[in-house]
Amino acid sequence: MVLVSGLVPARFLTLTAHLVIVITIFWSRDKNVLASLPLQYSPQQYQRQDLELVVALAVTLGLFAVELAGFLAGVSMFNKTQSLLSIGAHTAAAVALLFFLFDQWDSSLYWGIFALCSALPAAFEILLFVSVFGFKRKPL
In a domain, 139, yes or no: no
Q: Which domain holds residue 49?
A: 2-134
Predicted local distance difference test score (pLDDT) of residue 140: 59
Look up the pTM and report it.
Answer: 0.89
Predicted local distance difference test score (pLDDT) of residue 131: 86
Nearest CA-CA partner of 12 in 122, 92, 87 = 87
In a domain, 140, yes or no: no
Predicted local distance difference test score (pLDDT) of residue 4: 55
In a domain, 53, yes or no: yes
Query: Mean pLDDT for each 10-residue chunk of the chain (140 residues)?
Result: 72 96 95 93 96 97 95 88 95 97 93 96 93 74
In the chain, how many domains are there?
1
Predicted local distance difference test score (pLDDT) of residue 9: 92
In a domain, 30, yes or no: yes
CA distance readout (Å), 53 to 32, 61, 109, 114: 9, 12, 10, 11
Distance (Å, rounded) from C-alpha 4 to C-alpha 68? 18
